[in-house]
Structure 1
Amino acid sequence: MPSDAALDFIGTFADFITASPTSYHAVAAMAEQLRGAGFTQLDEKQAWQEVRGGCFVIRDGALMAWMVPDTFGPECGFRIVGSHTDSPSFKLKPNPTTHSAGWQQVGMEVYGGALNNSWLDRELGLAGRLVAIDGTVTLVRTGPIARIPQLAPHLDRSVNDNLHLDRQQHLMPFYSLDPKLDIEEYLCRVARVDISDLAHHDEFAFPTEAPAVFGPDEEFFAASRMDNLSSVHASLQAFLDVEPGDDVVVLAAFDHEEVGSNSRSGACGPFLEDVLVRIAAGLGVEGADLRALMARSSCISADAGHAVHPNYVHLHDPNNHPQLNAGPLLKINANQRYATDGLGGALWKRACEVADVPTQPFVSNNAVPCGSTIGSLTATRLGITTVDVGIPLLSMHSARELCGVEDPWFLKRALEAYWAGA
């Protein structure tokens, strides 16, 4: 049976997932909590007059927040936790409204490596941002309005033996029987935006089924977007609760990890480096001193990993079988798909020991290609010690992922210990 603290924490996580159907909504939810805790939002288009205390800045679907302790001195560094706000989904195309045999359908493009079959026969909403011609951004979300229907086995007797989903033909959601109902007009009506002002949109499908705790002992938690809102939420709560040590603590929540991170708000872009340089400048640290400051810094890249699958054990490393509710993963790959090395591994183990939480290694089966995270990208761009961690999931990239109730609570405590100076 999970602890009361873990169950309480999973409740706040469920609320965060529900509030965050897209990266833009996740950042808005984070910003609301940060403002409520007294943090100051800065504008990256303006010079920053003061970087001390607690501040944050938003760039599209990404957010950076930091605290400069009163004890910051010449031998200090940055302590960074990085995560990402996006998840696999389907993104609205231009001119999305289409018709087929009396159905109103919406044209969508697959975003990231979605487990496509998991999106079938689910009630879907649409959410994201509408951008007016003058650049005004309005967030919007609908209720359950769409569905990608599966074909009955009576019409294809091979469907259970050889399911093939053509991304263009078979993954088109329907949303109405009214031939006059245009999906862009509907979104503008929901958002109270004049359709004549709409210049562009960044809209995504999301599963509307509520997160749920289940199991005989309430040990399981199912929800969408846990890759990687599990790390975003845990890092945010650790950030809000921590009493920093001597180093500057930095929360970095990037967008676009699921499509390669190559964007102005992704980990390959300059956002984090820009913020770190501007913080350092505000503290009077520049030039060679800045390079030394970076060399004293570290980063925990927090992104969900894989629990051992009971029906596919042969696809996991035979000597490493990560379990649910056994602690966050230390993710290791010899080919640097993860950034973990000996120094980073030791840093993580210290944080877990101080927090009194378990941890477990994850390494891939040699015959199964390994995924990647923002960790190696951050280490390459900034040259700082980086370690990859994350809670174990089943059904990663599904529309309905699964974790253990204890693991997000364990991750939050370990990240808090790291930021506190462990």
Structure 2
Amino acid sequence: EVNKNRSINKQTDLVPIVMLLEEDRLPDLNTILLEQLARQYPAIRPSVVTDHELFFYDSQPPAFVGLQNEFIAGSRLDNLLSCYVLIQAMLDSRTRQNSLVVLNDHEETGSLSGTGARGPFLQSVLERLMPEINDRRCCLSRSLFISVDNAHGVHPNFAGKHDRNHRPLLNCGPVIKHNANQHYATTSRTASYFRRLCQRASVPVQDFVMRNDLACGETIGPITAGEIGVEVVDVGVPSLAMHSIREMTGSRDGWYVYNVLKEFFSFAGTDDEWPGTDRR
């Protein structure tokens, strides 16, 4: 019975064990950190730790797993994988056209912060890049924002959690995410263009729609669309065990997304297949 209907209490069941203290010593973390810093950096001689930020996470590096190394297992693949692929694709596109990659903080906790998607950071950057408001609005009206955030691949142990017609598989290409309630900002127009990018890059593509009787998560796609008024397509690498301490993706899917994004950046602003392209 002990293993049936087991629930995890975040307050009492997830307390980390980090060290042992002498029986008569009080757990003063600032003092413990000060002693550790003094041992680690003897030349600095710190005198006091006034405050700290403490995070617990998996320190093991990502690894290829599977009998044929067909998977990647690692912590925070959602969404460090997308961040890396976006930057690499933009650098390798070698285009002279202006493009912008936005890497926001705090997406998993609501995005409401100075560096989150609900904060002023992106709007402030755009205002400094294009001070003239009409130029900025015209530019945004012609632009496409690709929101790249890992998608839920179908898990063989929980296949019933997916709609039977929308079950993204690992190593079968990026996933276009759709939601009628605007939890994803994809439209038929932006989805069609992304499919065309995949076709040009010889990359397979999949679709995801959440079951009608289950809640759907949200990305920064709808938030950004509402903040700056840009067209958006929500896409991502399919993954398993999302938000767990060690997530899993297909080892080919990062490469697929890289090639699609490289195609996008290479023709940004000049692609006649995107309806917003200025053809003057």
TM-score relative to the length of structure 1: 0.59
Distance of 2:105 and 2:46 partners within structure 1 = 27
Within the candidate set 59, 66, 71, 1:208 is matched to 59
Contact 2:33/2:49, CA 8 A, preserved across alignment: no
**What residue identity is the alignment partner of 1:237?**
Q
Distance of 1:265 and 1:194 partners within structure 2 = 33
Distance of 2:94 and 2:100 partners within structure 1 = 13
Change (3 A) 1:418 1:171: same
Q: Percent identity?
A: 40
Q: Aligned with 2:263: secondary structure?
A: helix
Q: Aligned with 2:103: secondary structure?
A: strand
Within the candidate set 389, 407, 410, 2:253 is matched to 407
Quote the residue 2:103 is aligned against: 253
Q: Which runs of 5+ in 2 are unaligned?
A: 272-280
Contact 1:245/1:419, CA 8 A, preserved across alignment: no
User: Is the counterpart of residue 273 in structure 1 residue 123 in structure 2?
Assistant: yes
Change (3 A) 1:326 1:241: same
Contact 2:31/2:49, CA 8 A, preserved across alignment: no
Contact 2:72/2:250, CA 8 A, preserved across alignment: yes
Q: Aligned with 1:202: secondary structure?
A: coil
Shift of 1:195: 5.9
TM-score relative to the length of structure 2: 0.87
Shift of 1:254: 0.5
Deviations 1:200-255 (A, max 9, x none): 33331111233221222211111110111111111111122112253x21011010
Distance of 1:296 and 1:202 partners within structure 2 = 42
Distance of 1:186 and 1:343 partners within structure 2 = 57
Distance of 1:390 and 1:311 partners within structure 2 = 21
Quote the residue 1:396 is aligned against: 242
Deviations 1:287-333 (A, max 9, x none): 32221122112200000011111121111011111111000110111
Deviations 1:381-408 (A, max 9, x none): 0100011001000100110111100001
**What residue identity is the alignment partner of 2:2?**
V
Contact 2:30/2:50, CA 8 A, preserved across alignment: no
Quote the residue 1:300 is aligned against: 146
Contact 1:340/1:386, CA 8 A, preserved across alignment: yes
Shift of 1:266: 0.2
Change (3 A) 1:208 1:294: same
Q: How do 1:73-222 and structure 2 match up within 5 A?
A: 158-179=1-22, 180=25, 182-188=28-34, 189-190=36-37, 192=41, 196-222=47-73
**What residue identity is the alignment partner of 2:79?**
N
Quote the residue 2:274 is aligned against: none
Q: How do 1:224-263 and structure 2 match up within 5 A?
A: 224-244=75-95, 246=97, 248-263=98-113
Deviates more, 1:347-356 or 1:221-230: 347-356
Distance of 1:194 and 1:352 partners within structure 2 = 56
Distance of 1:309 and 1:199 partners within structure 2 = 46
Distance of 2:16 and 2:186 partners within structure 1 = 40
Distance of 1:295 and 1:199 partners within structure 2 = 48
Shift of 1:196: 4.8
Quote the residue 1:53 is aligned against: none
**What residue identity is the alignment partner of 2:103?**
A
Quote the residue 2:174 is aligned against: 328
Q: Aligned with 2:95: secondary structure?
A: coil
Structure with more strand by fraction? 1
Contact 2:30/2:51, CA 8 A, preserved across alignment: no
Deviations 1:75-94 (A, max 9, x none): xxxxxxxxxxxxxxxxxxxx
Q: CA RMSD in A?
A: 1.9
Quote the residue 2:277 is aligned against: none
Deviations 1:121-141 (A, max 9, x none): xxxxxxxxxxxxxxxxxxxxx
Q: Aligned with 1:278: secondary structure?
A: helix
User: Is the counterpart of residue 387 in structure 1 residue 233 in structure 2?
Assistant: yes
Deviations 1:22-66 (A, max 9, x none): xxxxxxxxxxxxxxxxxxxxxxxxxxxxxxxxxxxxxxxxxxxxx
Q: Aligned with 1:272: secondary structure?
A: helix
Quote the residue 2:198 is aligned against: 352
Distance of 2:198 and 2:15 partners within structure 1 = 45
Change (3 A) 1:252 1:272: same
Contact 1:375/1:387, CA 8 A, preserved across alignment: yes
Distance of 1:253 and 1:314 partners within structure 2 = 33
Distance of 1:187 and 1:198 partners within structure 2 = 7
